[in-house]
Structure 1
C-alpha cells in the first residue's frame, strides 16, 4: 500500500546487552562476569576492572532477580524451550514446574525461536541475567558455541533431549530404542517391511528414531524403503499419508510422532486405505488424544512428566555439587499397543 511502511521496514528493537556481551567485550568468560558481579573474592583486580569497564560501556544492568546472586541463592531455575505448541514441550514444562515447586523453587521460562546456537545462547544469557541458579535446556542442542560452553560452565545445566556440552548433565529417553521398538513391533506382526515418516532431522530425537528404524530393518536383512520427512505437525503427516496411501505395497508405517500419525491416518482414510486392515500405523509420544483417535493409536510412550521431574532433581544435585558431572540417565520408552496395528492381510 502506498505511503504505508511494512513491518519489514521498521527498525528492529535493539536487544538489551546481556552477560555474554559483557564477557566478549571484556575478553573473559561468562563465569568470570558472573563472579565479578556477585562480588566473588577470587577475581583479580585487573580482571574485575575490565569487567566493570565493559559493564559501564555497554550499559549492562542486572535486574532484581540477578542481584540475588550476591547471596548465592535466588531459588529460581531457568528453562529454555522451543517456541512451538507441541504437546511434548508443554508436558515436559509442566513436569519441571511441578518438581521445582515441590522443592521450593520458582521457574523462569524463555522460548527460543530456532535451534541455532546463537538463539539458544541468547535465551541462556537472558536467564543468567535473571539470576537463575541453574538451567534446563529443553531443546535439542545440535550445535554449541563458545558462549554456550562458557554459560554451562558458569551455571549448572541439564539437557533433556540427548545433547550435551562438556559441562552439562543429560536426562534422556533412548530415542533410537523408540525406533527399534516401533519397527520390531510391526515386523513381529508379520509385515514384510516398515515405512517411516520421520521428524525434522535437525532434531536429535528425530534423527535417532530414524537410526533405530534403519538398524532394525538392516539387522533383519531388509533394505529400508524411502524415508518421508515431516515437521512434527499433523498437516505434514497428512501429506506423507497421501503419498504412502498410493503405494500398494505399503502395509505398515512407523510415524515419528503421534500428531503426525493423526495426519497420516486421516489421509489414508480419505484414500480408502483402512487402518489397520490395509495399513498398520505406530506413533510416538502417547499424548492424551492417542487413545481416542479412530482407531486408537498404537504408540511408543515417553514419560514427559517424569523427564521434567528427573531434570529438576538432577539440576538441584548439580547446583549443590557443581564440580561433578554425573553420567547420562536414560529413561526406557514403553510400547502401548492399541487398535491401529494388526497382522497384514494375506
Structure 2
C-alpha cells in the first residue's frame, strides 16, 4: 500500500460506494508509531453535518482537526473544510441522513474512526464532558470550557463562518430556550434569521394569536417563526428587516428597513381573535390574515394564498399583497431580520 502525507492531497475516487483505507502520515507528538490507518468513508466525502455545533476552529489539516476533537470530551465527530474544523456533539450513528448537507470539498468523520494515539495522553479522553484535555509536560491537564451557543443567525455567521444557509440550532439569549431556526447565509453577507417564508400555499396562515406567538408551519417548507422568539431575538440590539418578494411572472424585488421596530411605526400585531389595529373593524378578519395593520393598509404578506397574479375575488386586500410592489397576489415571500454587529459584541 502507498503511504503518503495528508498535505499532498491524494486523489480519491469519490463516486464509489466503498470504504477507503487511507494511510495518513500522523505527525504524532506523543507516540512513536506514527503511521496509523484511518478509514475514510466515501459516503461522508463532500458532506457536512448541519447543526450540532460545539466550536469552529482554524487548523492546518484534517488530522489536526481530529486531534482537536479528541481534546474536547463531548466531541463525537468533526467537519473539515479548507482549514476550517467544526467540532460536533453528535456522530453519524446518532443523526439522520437528512441532517447532512452536500458541500464539495468538505469531509465529515466520526472521532471513533481515528486512532486515539494522535492525541497522546488526551486520546483516552480522561477529562469530563465539560472539560478540555490539554497536553502538559508529557501528560495532560483538564480545563473547564465555556460552550458557546449562538443566539441568532447573526451569531451563527460570526462565530461559525463556514456555516451555510439552512437550519441551525440557537439558544435564545434571555430565556435560554434552544430553538431551530432557518438562516440565510447568502443574501447580502448572510446572518439573516428567517421569520416567514411562503411559496406554494401549503400552510394556512389564517391563525389565532397563540399560533402567531409561538410559530407554526414546517421549517422545510412554509412557516412563521413566532412573535415570542422574534421579540426576544430582536431585543438584543438594533435589527434590520428585509422583505424578498416574487410576482407571478418571476419578477423579484426586495426592501430593507434599517430598523425593524420603526417599520411597525407603533402598530400592534393583530390576529383574527385579537384585534389591536387602529380601525373600526378587525383587519385580520377583513384581510384574512394577520399583521401589524394600520387601518387595514396595503401590506398583507400573511394573507390568503391564492393563484399568483390574480386579484382575490373578495378584494385585493385579502390576498398575499405588498402594495408598493403589486396589488395582485404574490407567488413567493420571505421575511427575515439581522442584528447589527458592533465592536463590543
TM-score (norm 2): 0.28
Q: Answer 1 or 2: which has greater helix percent.
A: 1
Give TM-score, length-normalised by structure 1: 0.28
Higher relative contact order (CA 8 A, sep 6+): 1
Flag the structure with higher strand content.
2
